[in-house]
Amino acid sequence: MKYAVAAFTLAAIFLNVAQVSANDFKTGLSAYQKRDYATALRIWTPLAEKGDADAQYNLGHMYRLGKGVMKDYEEAADWYLRASKNGAADAQFNLSVMYRYGRGVRRSNLTAHMWANIAGSQGHMDATQLKKTLARKLTPDDLTEAHRRAKVCMESNFKTCD
């Protein structure tokens, strides 16, 4: 019986922590929408560092656009990559665009296609068109490699995405 109480207590603590994180994220979103970027940054950074994909994506967005921070494509790409590896389709799409144009990362249509393929497999609406555009710029071998890398990435639950 005491183990059941302990398990229940631990479950309640984890649910409470998740709720606090969700509330913190929403507070950051509200600040961002009010153009209080400093508050959004202060709230989202620790969440992002703990692995919150939404916070990671939004930090990427802030750095890409220079909202409350100096515009920094490398920093944006880093946050988008972290969010992408946490399964965030919007981050995967944005990372694909960054690879397409070489913003913050080395330009690579192959890697851009890989991330667009992954985002599309998760239902991102714009990824399909981007994939088609990128496919026209790739050799058949490169296209095969992009598909292979996307498959490895997804099958590894985004752990092996080079």
Q: What is the mean pLDDT of each run of 10 residues along the chain (162 residues)?
A: 41 41 84 95 95 96 97 98 96 98 97 97 94 96 97 94 82
Q: CA–CA separation, 46 vs 114, rounded Å?
A: 29
Query: pLDDT (tens digit, 9 = 90+) per residue, 136-156?
Result: 999 999 999 999 999 999 999
Q: Give 129's DSSP letter.
A: H
| Residue 111: predicted pLDDT | 97
Q: What local confidence, expressed as pLDDT, does residue 84 receive?
A: 96
Assess if CATH 3.40.50.300 describes domain 1-86: no
Q: What is the reported pLDDT for 21?
A: 64
Q: If we measure between CA atoms, which residue out of 71, 135, 66, 124 comes closest to residue 100?
A: 135
pTM: 0.85
Domain with CATH 1.25.40.10 in the chain: 1-86
